[in-house]
Every structure is written in structure tokens, then in C-alpha cells.
Structure 1
Amino acid sequence: MGTALAVSGVLALPAAAQVAGTPAAQTAPGDEAVTSDSEIVVTGIRASLQSAQARKQNADSVVDSIVAEDIGKLPDVNVTEALQRVSGVQIGRDRGEGSGITIRGLSQVASTFNGRSGGNGRGVDLENIPAELISRVDVYKTPSADLIEGGIGGLVNVVTRKPLDTPGLTLSGSARARYSDIPDKVDPMLSALASNTWDAGDGGEFGVLVSGALQKRTFQSEAISVGAPVGQPAIGPGVASLSEQYQVALVSDRRRIGIDGVIQYKPNPDLEFYVQGTYQDSNQLQEAYGLYIRNLRGRTFVPGSVEYFEGTRDVAAISFTNVPTRSFAADRDAYEESWQVAGGVKWDSGPAHLVVDGAYTRGNGQLFYTELNLDTTAPQIDFDVRTLPGQAQVSGVDLANPDSFAIASLGRNINLSETESKQVRGDIWFDIDDPLTRSLHFGVRYTDADVDQQQLRFNQTGRGPGGTPLRASAFADLFIPNPLNDQFNGTDLIEQDYVTVDPAQLDGDGFDTVRTRLGITVPAEFNPLFGYTIGEKTLAGYAMSKFASDGALRFDGNVGVRIIRTQLDVVGTRAVFTQRPGTGTGPANPPVFEQTGIAPVEIDSSYTSVLPSANIRILFTDDLQLRLAAAKTLTRPGFSSLSPTLSLVPGQRTGSAGNPDLQPLESDQLDASLEWYPSPTSSAYIAGFYREIGNFLVTRTSPQTIDGVDYSISRPTNELGGKIKGFEVGGQAFFDFLPGALSGFGAQANYTFVDSQTDTSVPGLQTPIANLSRHAFNTSLFYEAGGLSARIAYNWRDQFYSSLLSNDIVTNEPIYTRARDWLDASVGYDINDRLTVTLEGNNLLRSKTRTFYGVPTRPGNYERDTMSFMAGVRVTL
């Protein structure tokens, strides 16, 4: 089957297999994930689960894995979506596609590609890696000293295939067509792999592998937001009413390309040389259209139109008069590219083992966002937030007529980034003939990463002679009827027929043409305040011992320490502010700062981190074992958080700035896992975990005046601490006890409970960690027999806290996202041992995202995404 599920929280560490009660076979530290594939031939779901379970059972730390059952068969479309099947992992979604993960409640997750840092100088963009290129994805939940530092939540290592994993000639390819229902579009998904090995004489081997994948996706997303609740003094005290209504529909074409090539040469069984080159790019072209109904607090309401949710003073329905209404359209082009060249050598001589690996990586990103707004005043708008997606019906103005609108603001944002990194590591270990100590490990790793970021921020309003507003009808060729006028199945609860700008007019050089036509003389230029360069060098060293005992109490594990020296160099420009006279005299008169100039910034800093870790496995029987782990971990602040730049949003009078003085986040953690393996394909486990985090980032906001405009500027600081505790429970089994064809059924399930608390920017107030569900579970039912394979996978996560809201009617009110679920299914049939046909469905329940402010009677966002279906064929020669 095209993406048959070979995944679960019970899938495992790719350490070399060992017999229960004996020490693990030695592999390159931090590179276990790429060394033992050739030992196991994986040909189906059952074989995949069996090999993965053996890896987990015999690992010396707590690690889960997602394993491709065969070439091109990693579950789901990208790596992030596949990770949602792992216990303790929760994912976010960007327009319905997996984007961003947390492990056991923490989003500070390190990511590597074949054990190496990625294109941005640190992590890897998991959502940009086509699934077809991947052999396996390993999720390290507890660290050991030989693993790369950087994730207080955990480490995700993406593993690609290598030619010597599969001796001989291998040719494989797949072609799928993906249909997305909302945009009503079919897109291709293609992948191919060619690999061959040759004898090199005297027991030597030589292999070459080249693989590539192309994914295209057209998606359409629709969202409604009614804005945070605000008071309406004219109605009465304690009334909470919507503050705005924002509706947007966007359509996007996304393309991903991945290419990977590997050469391996083993002149003899003890020596190996390898070179690998990888290229990835992602391009997304997006257009958005919408209406923005603004500034409803204090607006005149129609007498008798107010209705409340039962038992509350929360407004459910209301009508306002003379309401400012904005039509908008935006063009957004985003491009990311990275390539990496890596190579190394592995050497084994009796009890001594050596691995040296180095890599050079470059990446760049480009984002162009352009928006043009049109303003009018609606004589009356009728709202009702009890309905879905929410009613907002305009009367008294023809929104489809350009003459109803005046041209408002023209905005453009550009982000340009370039990254370069060099990394090299060396690991050496020695097998020890000792009743307790089985091996000693030592290693060093050096990295040198540079990030250059340039930003353009432009927002101006066109005016006619004497500052008069420009009528849209005078520029009729710029505007079109809303092309996405069938939102939420064409409901008439919201206005869908309105005039908007043609985004094609704003793209590329068209922006300057429009700017000139609107009489805007201010040029769009890059500002030194928005650019920066960051250089980061690290030198890490570790020492670790692996131990085992075959006595009355059988156990094994590792203990070690990793020491890292980090040097940071930040170069940029910083705004200079002076406190405005007469401000800062008391709580009712806070200090206000005015920009009085700019000044260059160059900050050099360094710090040393000591990270001890220990993992032990106690074997009560060959089938029952207990794992215990303790460690200290860190995560460095993101480069954008470390920047000295100031980024402004003039339309909202807000801005954000970085802080080069930030310190790394630190965590002390404890883990325990009880695991039972009654058969090669059946297992059950329960695991508990505790994390205590320091130096969490908090964003502080202060008023500042820049170029005569008052802004609220937010900056991150290290002030917070937090605690996370919870447990996971799960298992898998094939129903071999059933008769005949029914024995081909199997199931996996896991559940995660996480309780978290963290400080906030409000002294004395604690909240759950943002974007973390307290309860989450996954379940999968699969079948494999007689060439037929099928799976259905269901994922659910509880509601979660997002942020705090404070305004005129609420103080520190939590904002929540409702519980949501996700259902995928697929079926495949092997016509013969070379040809497989597949059919898959994603988001079959059409999952929707809904938020609310404190209580469900104060709704926020409502969003739905595309359901898709894929049909394809896979050939292996």
C-alpha cells in the first residue's frame, strides 16, 4: 500500500539489535539510525513492525521511530504528518498540512538530517522533506551524551536510504494523483529511486544511490474570526460583544522538490568511505481575499437587536450602524532552498571504532507579501455568532461596486535570509572486556553557522490633491470580483460578492507600478533597522560509558556528560530611544519612549553548558523490562529572537524586536518506561516523564514613539520557569489468533496525558504551556494478507491553551482552541511482487479549527481545510 502505516509510539530506536540481557552492538555515536538497516529485510507491515519493535526493545534509551515498510512507503505526505502517530507527539497544522511538533509538551525540539544540522544552521524543516525520500524517522525522548544538543523537548533525526542497505540493483518509482475537494484540483506526486552495488574485490563493496521526489498541492483554506470580546458601555455593564469580524479565503499552489544522492565505498569490512549530497526546495504561491469589519466597540447598535447566550451577558446577535468595512486582497510568494554536501569515514579495528563526519550546508529563503486595502462604510451590519461559520450580513452599500470604496493602504513586506553552516564531528569508542563496563565513548563536534536577514516593511496610503481619498472606481482595471465567493459551501450568512484587487497586479514589478499610480512617492526600501547578521560557533565534547550486567539482576545502559562552549556574534542596527518628558510619573502615566536615532550594534557573548545524562534498562524477564533515565538538556533561542532588529506593523501600531542577550532554555528531566513484549509483533508499555524548565522566554511590551507614531513594542526576555509531567500508554498487536484471513488484522493505539504549568508575563500567574493538549490519542487498524494491505488511522487531541487576553472587560482571560481530530485511510493491492496500486484519503472528517475566549459563549476563529484523495501506482524492479 502506498503509505501503509508502519508507525506507532511503540516503534523504536534504530540501534543495532541485541539479545535481551546482553549489551547493544556498538555503532557510531549519534548515528545508530543509519547503520543497521541492512541487517533486516522489510517487506510488509508485519515485518516492519516486528523489526521496529525489536529495535525499541533493545535500545539503551527511550526512542520511538516511524519506519517505512518499503521504498516510498513512509506514512503520510511529509515527515511532520507522520510524526502525529507517535505517542507524546502533537503537531500543528498550516492550512491543513502538518507543520511544527511538540514532544511531551515542549516545542523546543532539535531536528537533524542523517545526524547533521539542517539548512538554517540548526534544525531541519521537517514539513519540507518529501516522505518518499525517507527510510526512517527517529524520535529521541531521552538524550545520551553522544547525541547533538539543542532540544529540551527531544530530538528528531530523519534517515535517508543508502545503497549498501540493499545489495544489487534496485529501481523503484511511484506516481500519485492527489485531488483536493475545495479547490477542485488534481496535482501530481512523483518519486523515483535508483540504487546499485558492486563487488570491490577482497570483500569490498561499492554502492551508488540517487533518489528524488516532486510534490505539488493546491489547497484552499477558509476562516472566520469575530475578534476578542469587548465591552459595549451603551448597552450596559458586563456586556461582552464581538470587536470585529474578519473573513478570509486563500488559495495556494505549493511545490516541494527533494533530491538525494549517496556514494558508499567499503574497501574491506572494517573501513568505509561515504559522500552524500542533498537538495530541497519549497515554493508556495498564495492569494488571499477577504472582508474586515472593524472597530465595533462603542459603535451605535440597532435598538432591540441584541440577543445573549442563555444565562450570560455574552452577545450572541447584534446589529450595528455606520460600520467601517474593508475589502482586501494579498499576494504572497514564499521560497525556501537548501543543499548540503557531507562525507565521512568509518573504521573498525578489533575493539576500536572511529567515525569522522563533516558537512557544508547553504540555504536561503525569500518571502514577498503585498496587500492593497479598500475602505467603505456599511450603513448596517447584522451579526450572529451562534451560527457557523458566523453571520455578518451587510446592507445599504453595494460591495460589488468599486465606486463604493476608497483606496486605503498599500503594504509590502519582504524577508530575505541566507544561511551557511559548517560542521564536523569525530567519535571514537573502545569495547571493554569487563564484567560491568562494556565500552567507552569519546567525541567532539564543531559547528560554525552564519545567518543573514534583511527585511523590508512598507505601508502607505494613496491620496489625491489636498489629501483627498482616492476612489477605487478611478482605477477600475486594478480590481476584480472576489474569485473565491463560495466560502463554506457558498453560505449566504456572510458577504461573498465584493470587489477586491487583482493580486496579479501586485506581484513582482507590478507593486511599483501600482504605488506610482496611487500617487505614493515614498519608495519601498530596505531599512537597516530590520536587518542583522548572526554568527554562532559551538565546540562540544563528550565522554560516555556503556555498561551491562548478566548477573542475578540483568541491566544495561549508559552514563555520560556532554560539555558545550557556545560563542555568539550579533551585528545589526538598533533604534535609540529617549523617554518623553512628563511620562513615567505613575501607574496612570507610564513611560513613553521616542526614537531619537539609530546606532550600530555588535554583541559578542559566550557561555558553557554541562549536560549530564544517564539511561538504564532493567530486564526482569526476556519480555518485561523497565527503563529509567535522567538528564539535563538545553535549547538555544532562535536566531530571530536573538536579533537586534525592530519590526513594525504601522496599521496596528505594534512592533517586535529581538534580544541578543537571551540565554538558552534549560531542562532537568526524569523518565521511566515499563515495557512488555509478549511476541515479536505485540507489545505494551506505560511511560512517565517529568520536566523542569528554566529560562523560558516571556514577551514584554512597552510603549515607544517611532517617527512620531506611538507603538507597542514587544521583546523576549529570559524570565520564566515551567514544569511538565505526564504519562504515555500504548501497544500494538496482530490478531494471529483469529481464523483464516482474519489473522491479517492488527491494531496500534497510544494515549498521552500531559500536565504543564509555566509562569507568564503577569507576576504570580501561571498557565498551561501554550499549544499543548492535556489529552491526546492515536489509534490505527490495519490489515495485510494475500497482497492486500489497508489501514485507517485516527488522531485526536483535546482542547489547548493558546495565550492570554486582557482588555476593557477581561483580565488575563485564556484563549483556547477546541478539541479536534484527524482521520486518514489507505488501501493497496500488490498486483505482483513488482507492481502495487494504491488509494488514499486524508482529512476524511474534514477537521475544523475553532477557538474561544475563556468560555464557549465567546467564540473566536472558525477554520476549515481541504479533504484530499490520492490514487497511484508504485513499481519496484
Structure 2
Amino acid sequence: MKLRKTALSASIVFALSIGGNVAAQTAPASSQEATDLDTVIVTGIRGAQEKSLDTKRDAQSHIEVVTAEDVGKLPAHNVADTLQRLPGVSISSSSANEGGFDENDRVSLRGTSPSLTQTLVNGHTIGSADWFILSQTETVGRSVSYSLLPSEIVSQAVVNKTSQAKFVEGGAAGSVNVITRKPLDFANQISAEGSIGAVYSDLPSSTKPQVSGLFNYKNDANTFGFMAQAFYQERELRRDGQEIVGGFSTIAPDAPVVATNPDLAGVMYPNLPGSAYFTQTRERMGGLIELQAKPSDDLTLGLSAFYSDMDAKNYNRNYMLWTGNFVPNQAPLPGYVIENGTLVKADYAADPSAPGYGIYDMISRPESAAKTGYTTFDAAWDINESFSLKTQIGYTKGQGETPTQNIAEVVTGRSGGGWQVRGTDNTVNWYLNNPSGPTTDGFGTWGIQYYDVIDKETWITSDATWFSNNGVLSSVDFGVRYADHTREVNSPYGSDPGDIAGALEGTSPGFYPGDFGSGLGGSFPGPGVWYFTQSALEQAVKNNSTVRKDGARHNYGSEFNINEENTALYVQANFSGDKWSGNAGLRYVDIQQDIQFWRGLGSDATITPDVSSLFGNFVNVRQNNKHDRVLPSVNFRYNFADDLILRLAASQTMTLPDYSALAGAVSLSNLTHTGTAGNPDLEPIISTNFDASLEWYFTERGLLAASLFSMDLDNYVRYATETRNYVNDQNGQVEPYEVTLPINSDGKVRGIELTYEQPIGDYFGISANYTYADGEADVPAGNDATDALVGTSKDTWNLSAFFENDRFNARVAYTYRSSFYHGMLRANEYFQDDFGTLSASFGWKATDWMSITLDALNLNDPTLSYYVADGHPQAFYNNGRQYYLNFRFKY
């Protein structure tokens, strides 16, 4: 046992004691060492900070760590909120094209896309699920939605910036491992905790409950333990937004208006600027159950089950100026302004022959939901002094559902209108003259269209460690992992609309709030705009549409199924010397892909369709791909002194392309004649990584560190456009669409990270970090696309300060992220502008068993802004502030 108490404490014991750290494939430490580490009790901000720095310092590879101040208590209410404060970590509040929200949802590392970051729970994968339909069916990445991972389950969150052979592949840029509590971690035989509180959201002026509880039991002998956690959290959201839904369109040279106004030929104009009023109720509930048993000192068994379910009922109204309906055909009034090829100011008088100047979409999704969960069984066996073995069997499933979409489209405004574009930093001023009241003028609807998205995986791992007593070779890790993963999108039925318009006529309308858009600035419709209430629209569709389960409304074009069988083998040698340690290893990965989707035939009459529905004719496309790769990794650590550590690392990592990139549904917009589709020939993304860091732990809870990193991304996935013919499902005609497709390219990221943490006296402390990332992607020949990488913010920084004594604590934190390329919006490349968020928390320990906390998020009430590559504005969103008050009890 003496061997394991020496240099191995840095290279093996750390990685094994926290349940695998970054991967399921990690062997256990000895029983006594696990017990020693598990019984560490950490409370308070200073204690959590100290434990995080100790874990980082003892690690064999380059990591960042957040430790909960107490069981299930992080310095935020979402795991992603907390991770954003770490160097090299960036967050985003949305996936796909849903627009920005107030809750951080995706995590990415070092200037890359969230899809290149692997998210694990206790070292294993977790099924991904999204509530928003575009995240379900279109931009389907390999990232995980953190909205389903409440902070209550977290003991530690570990960010791995360098790789090892024993780490599960899938994170080209790195991985995040969320570590939960285990029953034998607790010091007392019986432990119980709970919190009762509420969240107040100021924009909707709503207060909703937040409840969680934990019970843990372990016997006196520390050979059996049981833990149960449960949570219920509800929240109302309101988002005020302006969206230029169609981007900026171009007036064709042969458009009718050019005959009278030739200076308008080739000029761009805002297509469908709109006032978007979004409301949602999020109701998240679930829990975690953990069992641990130690039949002997050498054998530990574990059973874990987690479930999280979020109902996300939502209603979006978008009141828009229908510019595409009149700008190409009608001359603007004198005084219009053209700047840099864009019609930035124009006013239009009423023309009786115009079909309408305004259009209004109301989309209700009353049953949108997302859920995820997993079940695992672990067995860890210290066979003898030289050999240990760990096996895990697991299953995870994520599911996103949109059972119903109730859509009303209304023509409004027959008397003209106009706009003024004010740059990318300001909303577009626009107006409609004499808009229609609560009416179904020019009504259209799509009724019910069911979507069900499944993401599931079954796996088995076996990991072993052989301990050596000879020379610099301290141990050898080796193992095998097999996983069977399936991602499928189903849309088997929909409904035929009936007299929904008649049912809505005469119903009592709702109205936009009087302060709508006050946080966005500018002048545009909103306050007082009418809408059909969500309940009235739901009832009208329910009573006046016929659900078709006979295949007529089967939306084959939105469906796909991808199955991936992954077999991995690895071997890793761990070394240690007087002042140094390291490891070197190889991981072999073999992946078999079975990709299936439906291709619309469009105008091609030479092919006999496999299936047909009201959405068109389709043929089944099935493709099998095989990808195998050897991934090397090397990590080296040198201790110049106990408090000064140098780390060097090199590796190759691999990530498969997004599911929607491989087999994405063909999604078309009839308004803009643009769309998206997939590409099953994409190769995996291979990243060649180098990392160097220097860490100086100059005092207790103090750190000064600098890191240099480099990633060369072979087969990076970017997008190109081409014209394809499809059937317009509104008129049945074959028409050309500009379709965006993913292709393989190459990219690279270079950057630096700086970290500073400093205690000030006994009660104060500050921390700051800065990340610079410079990324670019190769641009295909003949394409004028951007060379930006998805997710690359050049500048990201965090600054926080805290005070804590025996009774009170307070903390304030500010996070900033510069602009970054968000992805494709139909055929347009669009970016999110720079933004910063200010948060604060306050706590009072009223008694030994009760504390009161108040957390305030988004205190600066940020506006999230988006723009397209040509310099035009795309969207603006304001979500307001949130205040969480909780009474916490502990036994």
C-alpha cells in the first residue's frame, strides 16, 4: 500500500476518487483512500474555493473545477451559469434559432461550438433533449441542454481541457463532467437537507415556487448507503423581441418598382421586421437515487438513477411588417434613403391593390417538453495490491416532444407603413398605418403537427489498473467500452384544419403589455397589440381540425434515424519521478454508422417514390459509414516547487458531426424560399491539440496561472448553399429554394488563458480570468462565406468578489463575452453581438440548521443582439431580471 501513498496520489488517486473524473473508464482507488477523500466536508464560499483549487492542483491533466458550497448548492441556479465563470469556458442561452433567453443552456470550450464539448455525468454520457422544435428537428447537435441539469444534483463540475487515452472520446475541444454526491460521501449516518423558496421574474411580474430535498443514510460500518434527491422548480418567462424574420432581401432588377424608381434595383430592404412577444411556463421536476454497498473492503457496488422532466408550454406572437408583399411592387413616398446599398428609410402610402402590409403569426405549443434520465450499475474490485477492476453498465434516454403546434397567420394592416434601419446596435423603427383589429382577415393555419425526438444510448465499460513497483512506471490503465447510440426524429401525423377562423372570430383577445419593448429601445408596434389568447387558439384548433393518423399528414421530410455502434480500446501508461509525473496512451475507436432519412423528390418524375403524403413524394435514403481512428495523448507535469506547476499536453481528439448535419430534415421557408438539409458523407472532426500552462499557488486559496492552447480541426463542419427544387406545400408548385448544406472543411483555434484568484484578509476574496481565442475556418473556393468558427469569441472575461464571515456572505460577479458566429439562419450567416451579465448573491446563516439566500441574476438587464454577416441587424431580445429567495434547512 505504500506505493499508492506516494506519487500515485497525483496521477491516479485523484482521478479515481471522484467517480471517474472525466470518464466512466477509470479504475477505483483503494477502499481506504476512497474513504479518506469522501469524508472531506466543505462548506462556505472559501471552503469550496479551496477544495476546487486543491483538486485542480492535484490533477494529472489540465482541468478547471467548481465545487458546491454545500450539498447541491452552486453559486448559480444552472450548471452552465457557474461554468461560464471559468477560464476558457463560454456559454450561450440558446440552441438552433430559438433566440436568446435568460437561462444559459449550452457550454463550449476555448472558442469552439458547443457540439465539440463533451458533457458527461459521473463520467458517462447522458441523453440529450430539447423543448424547442428547431433544436429538436433542425440544428440537432451533440451538445447537452443544461436546462435539464439542476444545480441541486451537483457536488463538483470538472472541465477537462486536455485529453487522456482513458477519457471517453467525443469532445474535440474538451469535456465537462458533472459529478453527483454518493451515499458514502457523507460524514453523518443520517443527513437531510431541503430548500423552500420562490423565483420572481420581473418582466412577467411573476412569482413561482422552487422546492428541493435530499435524504441520505449510511450504516455505522460505512458499508451501505442510500441517497434520494427530489426537485420541483417552476418559472414564468417573458421575452420581448424584435426579429427581422426574413433577413434582408434584394429588390430584383426586373421588379415592377424599378420601372419607376431605377435607383432601387439591387437594393436591400428589411424583410418581415416584427415585434415578437414570447411567454412560457417552465416546470422542471425530477430526482436522483443512489445506492452504494461494500460487501467487503475490496468490493464496492453502486446503483444510480436520475430523471429530469421539463414541461415548457410556450406561446409566441410575431406582429410583422410584410415588406416582401409590397416593396418590390410599389414605389415608396419621396424622402426615402439608400445607404450602402440598403433602403434604410422608406414610407409607403396605402394602395388598394396591395394584398396587405402586415402579417401576424401566433404559434402556440402547449405541450412542448423535454426529459432525460439514466440508470447505471457499477462494480469496483480491488483484486489485490497490484490490480483493480471496474465495470459499468448503463442506459440513458433523452426525449424532446412537440405534440401540438397551433398556428394562426393573419393579414393585418391595409393602409401602408414604413421603417428606418439604425445599424446593428439598434432596433429597426417601423410602423403600420391603421392595423386591423382582432380579426381573421386572410387567415391561415397549420394546426397540429406532432414531433417526437429520441436520443438514447446503452453502454458497457470495463477498466483495469495494474500498479507497478518498478522504476518510473507507476501504473498502467487499460480497458474497453462498447456503446450503442440512436438519435431519431419522428413526425408521423398532423391535422387538417377546419373552420378555425370562424371559431376564433368574436373571442376575447389578449393584448401586448403596455411596457412591451421598453428594454429594447426604438419605436415599433407592441404595446396594446391584440392577439388571440393561447387558450382560445388551442380550443379552436382542437374543436375544428381533424387529426390524420392515416399517413396523409406524415411529415417524412422532417424525419431521420441515426444509429452508431462505438467500440473503443485504450492503454495508458502512468509515470512518476521526483518532481514530475505524466502519462502517455493510445485510444482506438471504431464507429459503425447507419444513417436513414427521406429525400423529397421535388420535380423529379423519373424516380418512383417509396412513400407519399400531403408533404410530397419521398424516397428512403440509407447509408452506412465506418470510421476508425487511433487517438494518441501525452500529459506531462513538473513541480518546480510545491506551489509552482508546469503542465504540457498533446493529443488528438475526435467528435462526430451533428446529427442534423448528417441526416438533417429538409426544412423550408415558403416566405423566403430558403431552407436547410443534411449531408451523410461528412467525416468526423479530428482535432490536434497542444496545451501549456503554468500555475502558481502563491497562497492558500490563491492562484496565478497562464495557459497557451492550440487546436487544428481537420474535417471541421461548416456550411455552403446551393439551389434545389422542392414542392411548395402552400400552393403545390415546384419552386427553387436556396438550401444550406454542411460540408467538411478545416479550421484552427489559437488562444491564451489568464487566471487570478486572491484572498483578501480573512473574509474577502476576488477572482478574475481572461480568455483570448482566435479561430478561423477555411472557406470553400468560389464561396464568399465567413471564415469565422462557430462559437469563437475573441475576448471572454470574468470578474467576481465576495465577502464571508460566520453568519453572512455576499458575492457579485460580472461575465463578458465578445461577439461570435452563431451559425446559419436559413441561408444567412448570423452572429451574436457582445454582451455581459451581472449577478449577485447574499446569504445569512440564521441558525446551525437554517440559512436564507437571495440570488439575483441578469441584474444589468442585458439585451441580446444578433446580426448577419453583411452588417444588417437580425434580432434583439430582452428577458428581464430574476430573483431567487430560498430558505435552506440542514440536519
TM-score of the superposed pair, with normalisation by structure 1: 0.86
Choose which of 359, 362, 386 in structure 1 pairs with 2:397. Answer: 362
| 1:310-329 pair list within 5 angstroms | 315-322=343-350, 324-329=357-362
Match of 1:220 in 2: 238
Bigger drift between 525-534 and 719-728 goes to: 525-534
| Cα displacement string for residues 757-796 of structure 1 (whole angstroms, at most 9, x for unaligned residues) | 1024564655121332110101110111131111001001
Distance 1:118 1:821 in 2: 30
1:382 counterpart = 2:370: no
Match of 2:136 in 1: none
| Cα displacement string for residues 652-711 of structure 1 (whole angstroms, at most 9, x for unaligned residues) | 434433333322111111111111111221011010111111112233433213353314
Match of 2:610 in 1: none
Distance 1:461 1:762 in 2: 46
Match of 1:62 in 2: 62
1:162 counterpart = 2:179: no
| 1:145-156 pair list within 5 angstroms | 145-156=165-176
| Cα displacement string for residues 801-820 of structure 1 (whole angstroms, at most 9, x for unaligned residues) | 3458999xxxx9x6443211
Cα shift at 1:735: 0.7
Output the amino acid matched with 2:556.
Answer: P
Output the amino acid matched with 2:237.
Answer: F
Distance 1:178 1:50 in 2: 30
Q: Evaluate the alpha carbon distance shift between residue 827 and residue 597 of structure 1 in structure 2; reply closer, same or farther with a 3 A threshold.
A: closer
Match of 2:866 in 1: 851
1:50 counterpart = 2:50: yes
Distance 2:725 2:641 in 1: 66
Q: Evaluate the alpha carbon distance shift between residue 644 and residue 474 of structure 1 in structure 2; reply closer, same or farther with a 3 A threshold.
A: closer
Structure having the higher strand fraction is 1
Match of 1:193 in 2: 214
| 1:856-871 pair list within 5 angstroms | 858-871=872-885
* Counterpart contact for 1:757–1:768, Cα < 8 Å: yes
Match of 2:580 in 1: 555
Q: Evaluate the alpha carbon distance shift between residue 709 and residue 18 of structure 1 in structure 2; reply closer, same or farther with a 3 A threshold.
A: farther
* Counterpart contact for 1:626–1:673, Cα < 8 Å: yes
* Counterpart contact for 1:567–1:607, Cα < 8 Å: yes
Secondary structure of 2:535's partner? helix
Q: Evaluate the alpha carbon distance shift between residue 235 and residue 620 of structure 1 in structure 2; reply closer, same or farther with a 3 A threshold.
A: farther
Structure 1: stretches of 5+ with no match in the other structure: 1-15, 464-469, 582-594, 737-742
Cα shift at 1:713: 6.0
Bigger drift between 646-655 and 600-609 goes to: 646-655
Distance 2:482 2:496 in 1: 47
Distance 2:700 2:869 in 1: 48
Distance 1:756 1:794 in 2: 24
* Counterpart contact for 2:495–2:546, Cα < 8 Å: no
Bigger drift between 158-167 and 386-395 goes to: 386-395
Q: Evaluate the alpha carbon distance shift between residue 184 and residue 19 of structure 1 in structure 2; reply closer, same or farther with a 3 A threshold.
A: farther
CA RMSD for the aligned pairs?
3.2
Output the amino acid matched with 1:704.
Answer: N
Distance 1:474 1:342 in 2: 51
Bigger drift between 598-607 and 175-184 goes to: 598-607
* Counterpart contact for 2:420–2:428, Cα < 8 Å: yes
Secondary structure of 1:557's partner? strand
Distance 2:816 2:734 in 1: 46
How many percent identity over aligned positions? 25
Match of 2:263 in 1: 236
Cα shift at 1:65: 1.5
Distance 1:759 1:752 in 2: 23
Distance 2:8 2:49 in 1: 18
Distance 1:826 1:414 in 2: 42
Match of 2:770 in 1: 751
1:77 counterpart = 2:77: yes
Distance 1:759 1:314 in 2: 29
| Cα displacement string for residues 363-395 of structure 1 (whole angstroms, at most 9, x for unaligned residues) | 332113221101134322132334954422222
Cα shift at 1:855: 7.3
| 1:366-765 pair list within 5 angstroms | 366-367=401-402, 368-386=404-422, 389-395=427-433, 397-402=434-439, 405-455=441-491, 475-477=504-506, 480-484=509-513, 486-489=515-518, 493-496=523-526, 497-507=528-538, 510-511=540-541, 513-515=543-545, 525-550=553-578, 554-576=579-601, 597-643=617-663, 645-699=665-719, 700-706=721-727, 708-712=733-737, 714=739, 716-736=741-761, 743-761=762-780, 763=782
Structure 2: stretches of 5+ with no match in the other structure: 23-27, 29-33, 95-100, 130-141, 252-257, 351-355, 607-614
Q: Evaluate the alpha carbon distance shift between residue 386 and residue 412 of structure 1 in structure 2; reply closer, same or farther with a 3 A threshold.
A: same
Distance 2:657 2:507 in 1: 43
Distance 2:674 2:143 in 1: 29
Secondary structure of 1:406's partner? coil
Match of 1:180 in 2: 201
Match of 1:823 in 2: 838
* Counterpart contact for 1:459–1:651, Cα < 8 Å: no
Distance 1:522 1:46 in 2: 63
* Counterpart contact for 1:690–1:726, Cα < 8 Å: yes
Cα shift at 1:190: 1.0
Cα shift at 1:838: 1.0
Bigger drift between 749-758 and 99-108 goes to: 99-108
Secondary structure of 1:841's partner? strand
Secondary structure of 2:679's partner? coil
Match of 2:98 in 1: none
| Cα displacement string for residues 141-160 of structure 1 (whole angstroms, at most 9, x for unaligned residues) | 11101111001121111111
Distance 2:14 2:413 in 1: 72
Output the amino acid matched with 2:634.
Answer: A
Match of 1:353 in 2: 388
Distance 1:778 1:218 in 2: 28
Q: Evaluate the alpha carbon distance shift between residue 223 and residue 460 of structure 1 in structure 2; reply closer, same or farther with a 3 A threshold.
A: farther
* Counterpart contact for 1:338–1:363, Cα < 8 Å: yes
**Aligned pairs, number:** 817
Cα shift at 1:281: 0.9
Secondary structure of 1:45's partner? helix
Distance 2:600 2:17 in 1: 46
Cα shift at 1:450: 2.7
Q: Evaluate the alpha carbon distance shift between residue 644 and residue 800 of structure 1 in structure 2; reply closer, same or farther with a 3 A threshold.
A: closer
